[in-house]
């Protein structure tokens, strides 16, 4: 049975439209792969639950001098819970971990997004990650911001300590230049004293040890 001319035209038109749609549809985003061996380890490490970098008394004084409004003790848990949820949404798919440790939120950033081995220069790939974190953290003004720098286990203690100090300071400086008040921020290098893996079995575990962590704690005055 012959196909009517009008039906042929409709069929051809639909086929062209479908092809055009296929040609203009954007490709799906490439998945972000978490570095091998990068897992939420070391949550019981003493430094994660330690006092504020520089001491609470000094940090409180800086916040008061900056006229920061303190949270009430009763309001702090929900405030931090909201921040935790927001950070997880904003950083989803980037390839880092947002971890809850007591009343603190730890953002743990792997070496693949931070620094080359032996370097304290922020990699271009790291800038986008830090920018997302800075956007979220700067709006949550009632928190302290502690930045910890780490190295892998290669090199001497002295070199690694200096390198981790520089890495932590570089991240703290980036946050400060992107809207996070300096009164809220402190940084500290821990060298090779707090590895996730010890001993290190290959480059993947070395890279996991070579990390930066941003710890957020509630400012309750």
Radius of gyration of the chain (CA): 24
Q: What is the pLDDT of residues 112-152, one digit of tens each?
A: 677 777 888 877 777 878 888 899 999 999 999 999 999 99
Distance, CA of 209 to CA of 39 (rounded, Å) = 11
Distance, CA of 106 to CA of 85 (rounded, Å) = 12
Q: Is 150 strand, coil or helix? A: coil
Fold of 37-218: 60s Ribosomal Protein L30; Chain: A; (3.30.1330)
Say what the pLDDT of residue 76 is.
97
pTM for the whole structure? 0.80
Q: Write the DSSP symbol of residue 111.
A: G
- Sorted by sequence, the CB contacts under 8 Å of residue 75 that are 6+ apart come out as none
Say what the pLDDT of residue 83 is.
95
Domain boundaries, the chain: 37-218
- Tokens read off for 171: 């991240």
Say what the pLDDT of residue 23 is.
44
What phi and psi, each to the nearest 5 degrees, are found at residue 212?
-125, 140
Q: What is the pLDDT of residues 145-182, one digit of tens each?
A: 999 999 999 989 999 999 999 999 999 999 999 999 99
Residue 95 has pLDDT above 50, yes or no: yes
């Amino acid at each position: 049975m012959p196909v009517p001319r009008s039906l042929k035209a409709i069929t051809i038109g639909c086929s062209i439209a479908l092809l055009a749609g296929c040609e203009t549809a954007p490709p799906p985003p490439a998945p972000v792969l978490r570095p091998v061996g990068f897992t939420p380890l070391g949550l019981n490490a003493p430094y994660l639950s330690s006092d504020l970098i520089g001491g609470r008394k000094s940090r409180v004084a800086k916040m008061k001098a900056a006229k920061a409004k303190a949270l009430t003790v009763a309001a702090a848990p929900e405030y931090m819970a909201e921040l935790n949820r927001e950070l997880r949404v904003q950083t989803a798919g980037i390839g880092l971990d947002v971890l809850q440790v007591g009343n603190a939120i730890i953002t743990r950033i792997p070496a693949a997004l931070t620094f080359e081995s032996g370097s304290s220069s922020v990699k271009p790939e790291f800038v986008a990650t830090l920018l997302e974190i800075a956007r979220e953290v700067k709006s949550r003004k009632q928190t302290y911001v502690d930045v910890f720098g780490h190295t892998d286990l290669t090199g001497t203690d002295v070199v690694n300590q200096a390198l981790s100090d520089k890495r932590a300071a570089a991240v703290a400086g980036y946050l400060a230049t992107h809207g996070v008040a300096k009164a809220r921020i402190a940084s500290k290098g821990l060298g090779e004293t707090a590895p996730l893996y010890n001993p290190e079995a290959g480059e993947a575990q070395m890279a996991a040890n070579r990390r930066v962590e941003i710890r957020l704690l509630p400012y309750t005055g």
